[in-house]
A and B are shown apart, each in its own frame.
Chain A
Amino acid sequence: DAKTTQPTSMDCAEGRAANLPCNHSTISGNEYVYWYRQIHSQGPQYIIHGLKNNETNEMASLIITEDRKSSTLILPHATLRDTAVYYCIVSLFAGTASKLTFGTGTRLQVTL
């Protein structure tokens, strides 16, 4: 699986958009970009994933650059409950269970 690079930490004011970048310059054509988050002392939670196109769901938006070498997760209106470690993961989905390899992630702190 391709390696990802994320900033160690970021701060965001409550109510503002949180934009979390991820670099995956060695991604291959059939690898997906997944985002998970982990709130302190809990198991990770799926947020969103994409292959080439931008994606949006009720939690977030995922913007993938045209060359697919980087992406940005956008939380449109961050709340205190969004404080967590956010993991960007690149994984080959082969139709069966995808083995996810977690990097160090970005620790997002949402403040009042």
Chain B
Amino acid sequence: GAVVSQHPSWVICKSGTSVKIECRSLDFQATTMFWYRQFPKQSLMLMATSNEGSKATYEQGVEKDKFLINHASLTLSTLTVTSAHPEDSSFYICSADRGLTTGELFFGEGSRLTVL
């Protein structure tokens, strides 16, 4: 099946620093990728839609200057959490559209960010 990989799987950083999370589609090209965040015992919340070669579309309430998304190639999208604070600690998950007629999305394993 299609594989989407995230890196790093987990990261711990100090408050005020920036952290970059990568999302790669390993065996297919993804024009569109989505970024979600998930707090403990809660559901996934869509943050933004990332389109290759264009600016990301952010969901209401998500700060675009804090969560920088870059989709520079058909196999890579990155999420950078800038000036991270403890409240940004969360599980960040990406998904990629393989372009199947079913509309099925393939998800990465997730990246757990802890901000001290």
| Contacts from A to B (Cβ < 8 Å) | 32, 34, 38, 41-46, 49, 87, 91, 93, 95-105
Encoded as 1 (CB less than 8 Å from any A CB) or 0, chain B from 21 to 45 comes to 0000000000110101000000111
The answer on a CB contact under 8 Å between A43 and B109 is yes
The answer on a CB contact under 8 Å between A97 and B43 is no
Separation of A91 and B49 alpha carbons in the complex (Å): 15
CB-defined contacts of B105 to chain A, threshold 8 Å: 46, 97-98, 100
When A49-B102, A97-B32, A97-B34 are in contact, do A44 and B43 touch as well, CB less than 8 Å? no
Separation of A103 and B101 alpha carbons in the complex (Å): 24
Tier of interface size on chain B: 20 to 34
Task: Tell me, yes or no, whether B107 is within 8 Å of chain A by CB.
Answer: yes
Separation of A93 and B106 alpha carbons in the complex (Å): 15
Separation of A99 and B44 alpha carbons in the complex (Å): 12
Separation of A45 and B4 alpha carbons in the complex (Å): 11
Closest 4 CB pairs of A and B: A43-B107, A97-B97, A93-B103, A97-B32
The answer on a CB contact under 8 Å between B103 and A102 is no
Min distance, Cβ B101 to any Cβ of chain A, angstroms: 8
- B72-116 contacts to A, CB under 8 A, are 91, 93, 95, 97, 101-110, 112
Most buried by A among B44, B91, B103, B106: B103
